[in-house]
A and B are shown apart, each in its own frame.
Chain A
Amino acid sequence: MSDLQLPHINYAALAPMLILFGAACAGILIEAFVPRERRYPVQLGLSLAGVVAAGVAVITQAGTRTITAGGAIAVDGPTVFLQGAILALGLVALLFVGERSLEAGGPFVAQAALIAGSEPDRRQVVRPGATEVYPLMLFAIGGMELFVAANDLLTMFVALEVFSLPLYLMCALARRRRLLSQEAALKYFLLGSYSSGFFLFGIALIYGFAGRVDFAGIHAAALGSDRSNALLYGGLALLSIGLLFKAAAAPFHVWTPDVYQGAPTPVTGFMAACTKVAAFGALLRVLYVAFDRVSWDYRPVLGVVAILTMLVGAVFAVTQTDLKRLLAYSSIANAGYLLVGVLAMSKDGLSSSMFYLVAYGFTVLAAFGTLTLVRDADGEANHLSRWAGLGRRSPVFAAAFTFLLLAFAGIPLTSGFTSKFAVFAAALDDGQTWLVVAGVITSMVLAFPYLRVVVMMWLSEPAESTPTVSIPGVLTSTGLAIGVAATLVLGLVPAPLLDLSTKAAEFVR
């Protein structure tokens, strides 16, 4: 017992996470003590300030390469880059969440678990102004920060739960279509807990193999351990299932369309952008730091998963008639393209995947942001047929959405093209031609559903039932402007961000 020592903690390196968790706790206090009418500006201000402050803290750590908190946290290039990405995307998502001009009191209710349609639930639906979503969002962002920085499997698991639990709740907070929203949350929760269980079993098997849970220890044990390799492969398979579930890769994607459709649209955008960054950040760290010595063995398997993901996403996107579901399947296909970058297993693969995450995140946030604007009396009108002729009614809006869809389709001069080019080039350099071939073919298939929406908006006559496009408030306009501008700028001049991601592409072990 005499060798028991306090771990050294580098508070500056942990500052982004500490700031976010501190702001989230302060948000709970505000929820408890500030009068209801004044909560909204206070909560929104605190959340924005917390995210910005954490962003500043991340920027000050740009050059840090260290392992701290007793080996539990690694702050290195990818950590800093991905934390910055999560904060930037989280800030834009927060702008959409904070919008109140579209719907009096905002699109959220206070209590997720009240029985839909019951008397208390009806009361909370007509009583606007719930602000519980802001601390939940801060907890989720903080958990994601921790997730991409975790340097051992147990910390990673704790972070997984810290960002998953608020997400489950946020899915059930939609004010319209309560039952659908609760169904989404329940599905996400049940399947998410299964995947967490898989992740834990994986940790147990890996611990059985390596005798340690930190990535450097697993890396060392992979070279030579007297235990059976079945433990290593089994453990890695289970870990990957847990991570690929969060990343929405096939065949672990079945929750995605239902959850994306049922969750409140700003929350869906947040999940599509930030959860994807967090999940792929963790997957990159696990595969590149801990298991790089067995990459020869898992690459074919994950390659099949990548191709399956791209195929499922592209083919099912063609059959969708609901725009949220369409974007959900598109997000599945994009998980496949990201996996192609991940499987390049090189410095280029790492940097191009990180670039892809940022580029895709801004585009998808702006796309879900525009969905919140097309409304009729029942709330958002997401059915594809309702969008017919929207280009005639609101040309500016339809032009922006067209641009975003072209970016998804990977047309040059958009960020979608540069990011896809980067991951495919990295995979080609590494000899993964089969993945690139599959990627290009599915991209062509996937272009069809996007272009169908474009054709529908511009070439159809507006019908009687074509909904109106609401005038966005300041927050949504800002968010949309940032998203569209990022999509354009990363398509025209991708070099600065590519340089940044290349410079950051070095893990510490």
Chain B
Amino acid sequence: MVGSTLPVVGGYLGSYATLGLLLLVGLVFFGVAFGANRLLRPARPASPEGKFATYECGLDPVGGDWAQAQIRYYVYAYLYVLFAVESVFLFPWAVIFDRPDFGMVTVVEMAVFVGVLALGILYAWRKRVLSWT
């Protein structure tokens, strides 16, 4: 509150004042740009053939707009996320495991944790999820 008399700018929420100002400027810019465009552009509505087709680049659009995505990536992404999260858990463990009173117990606990996750990838491997067919 020091050095400020405006209740909106001071205090905890005051640090958001810049963000609010930026949002306001953005809105004004958006409004002005589109408003000017609307005022200045020539308006000659016409409906030639193909104007409302999907593309206007000279090619006839072929087929539907539903495309097939390759589902096989999903399993890899999934396994990656699994091990990425696991490694996050390894960091705090790595900092404390060599302290007195921790030692072997902590190492074994982490081994169990990693082992359980390794079980998952072992299962995926045996079920031939990892082979790219």
Residues of A within 8 A of B (CB): 4-6, 25, 28-29, 31-33
Q: Which residue of A lies closest to B126 (CB)?
A: A32
Residue from A5, A6, A29, A32 within 8 A of B127 (CB atoms): A32
Contact partners of B123 in chain A: CB under 8 A: 28-29, 31-32
Q: How far is the CA of A205 from the CA of B96 in the complex (A)?
A: 31
Known: A32-B126, A32-B127, A33-B126. A6 touches B119 (CB 8 A): no
Binds A, one of B9-17, B57-65, B99-107: B99-107
Specify which chain B residues have a CB less than 8 angstroms from the CB of A29 in the assembled complex: 119, 122-123
B119 touching A4 by the CB < 8 A rule?
no
B116 adjacent to chain A (CB < 8 Å) = yes
Report A6 CB to chain B, min CB distance, Å: 7
| CB < 8 Å neighbour of A28 from B101, B105, B106, B119 | B119
Complex CA distance for A33 and B120, rounded to whole angstroms: 13
Range of interface residues on chain B? Answer: 10 to 19
Residues of B within 8 A of A4 (CB): 96, 99
In contact, A32 and B122 (Cβ under 8 angstroms): yes
Name A5's closest neighbour in chain B (CB-CB). Answer: B101
Please report the C-alpha to C-alpha distance between residue A32 and residue B123 in the assembled complex, in whole angstroms. 5
- A21 to chain B: closest residue by CB: B116
Most B CB atoms within 10 A — which of A5, A32, A33? A32
Enumerate the 4 nearest inter-chain pairs by beta-carbon distance, A residue then B residue, closest first: A32-B126, A32-B123, A28-B123, A28-B119
Please determine whether A6 and B102 come into contact, CB atoms closer than 8 angstroms. yes
Chain B residues packing against A (C-beta within 8 Å):
96, 99, 101-102, 105-106, 116, 119-120, 122-123, 125-127
- For B126, list chain A residues within 8 Å (CB): 31-33
Minimum C-beta distance from B118 to chain A (A): 11
- In the assembled complex, the Cα of A153 lies from the Cα of B129 at a distance in Å of 36
Cβ contacts under 8 Å, A6 to chain B: 101-102, 105-106
- Report B128 CB to chain A, min CB distance, Å: 11
Contacts beyond the supplied A4-B99, A28-B120, A29-B123: 6 A-B pairs with Cβ under 8 Å: A4-B96, A6-B102, A28-B123, A29-B119, A32-B123, A32-B127
> Closest residue to A111 on the B side, CB-wise?
B127
- Complexed CA–CA distance, A29 and B125 (Å): 11
Q: Total A-B pairs in contact (CB under 8 Å)?
A: 23
Task: Tell me, rounded to whole Å, the shortest Cβ–Cβ distance linking B74 to chain A.
Answer: 10
On chain B, the residues within 8 Å of A31 by CB distance are 123, 126
Q: Considering the chains assembled together, what is the distance between the CA atoms of A5 and B96 in angstroms?
A: 10
A15 to chain B, nearest CB (A): 15
What are 19 A-B pairs with beta-carbon distances under 8 A? A4-B96, A4-B99, A5-B101, A6-B101, A6-B102, A6-B105, A6-B106, A25-B116, A25-B119, A28-B119, A28-B120, A28-B123, A29-B119, A31-B123, A31-B126, A32-B122, A32-B125, A32-B126, A32-B127
- Chain A residues near B99 (CB, 8 Å)? 4
Whole-angstrom CA separation of A6 from B126 in the bound complex: 37
CB of B111 to closest CB in A, whole Å: 14
Across-interface contacts of A5 in B (CB, < 8 A): 101
Question: In the complex the two chains form, what is the Cα distance from A207 to B35 in whole Å?
Answer: 49
The residues of A that contact B125 with a CB separation of less than 8 Å are: 32
Give complex CA distance A33, B122 in Å. Answer: 10
With the chains together, A56 CA to B32 CA distance in Å? Answer: 76
**Whole-angstrom CA separation of A215 from B79 in the bound complex:** 35
Roughly how many angstroms separate A31 CA and B125 CA in the complex, as a whole number? 12
Nearest Cβ distance between residue B82 and chain A, in whole angstroms? 14
Central interface residue in B106, B120, B127, by most chain A CB within 10 Å: B127
Docked pose: A5 CA to B101 CA in angstroms: 8
How far is B127's CA from A31's CA once the two chains are assembled, in angstroms?
9
How far is B101's CA from A4's CA once the two chains are assembled, in angstroms?
Answer: 10
Closest partner residue, chain A, to B116 (CB atom):
A25
User: What residue of chain A has the Cβ atom nearest to residue B101's Cβ?
Assistant: A6
Q: Which residue of B lies closest to A1 (CB)?
A: B96
Smallest CB separation, A477 vs chain B (Å): 34
CA distance A451 to B106 in the complex (A): 60
CA distance in complex: A29, B123 (Å)? 7
Q: Which residues of A contact B122 (CB under 8 A)?
A: 29, 32
Closest CB-CB distance, A111 to chain B, in whole Å?
9
Q: How far is the CA of A28 from the CA of B125 in the complex (A)?
A: 12
**Complex: A33 Cα to B126 Cα, angstroms:** 7
Q: CA–CA, A474 to B97, complex, Å?
A: 52
Given the complex, which residues of B lie within 8 Å of A33, measured CB to CB? 126
| Residue in A closest to B106 when the chains form the complex, CB atoms | A6
CA distance A32 to B125 in the complex (A): 8
* Complex Cα–Cα for A6 and B96 (A): 11
The residue in chain B whose Cβ has the minimal distance to the Cβ of A31 is B123
Closest residue of B by beta carbon distance from A33: B126
A169 CB to nearest chain B CB (Å): 14
Residues of A within 8 A of B101 (CB): 5-6
* A6–B99 alpha-carbon span in the complex (Å): 11
Q: How far is the CA of A222 from the CA of B101 in the complex (A)?
A: 37
Docked CA distance A25–B112 (Å)? 11
Min CB–CB distance B113 → chain A (angstroms): 12
Q: Which residues does chain A contribute within 8 Å of B119, judged by CB atoms?
A: 25, 28-29
- Chain B: CB-nearest residue to A135: B123
A507 to B34, CA, bound (A): 66
Q: Which of chain A's residues has its CB closest to B115's CB?
A: A25
Contacts of A28 in B (CB 8 A): 119-120, 123
The CA-CA distance from A33 to B99 in the complex, in Å, is: 39
Q: How far is the CA of A31 from the CA of B106 in the complex (A)?
A: 30
Cα A502 to Cα B60 in complex, Å, equals 78
Contacts of B106 in A (CB 8 A): 6
Q: Which residues of B contact A25 (CB under 8 A)?
A: 116, 119
A31 to B120 alpha-carbon distance, docked (Å): 11
Please, which residues of chain B bring their CB within 8 A of the CB of A32? Answer: 122-123, 125-127
User: How distant is the Cα of A28 from the Cα of B115 in the complex, in angstroms?
Assistant: 13
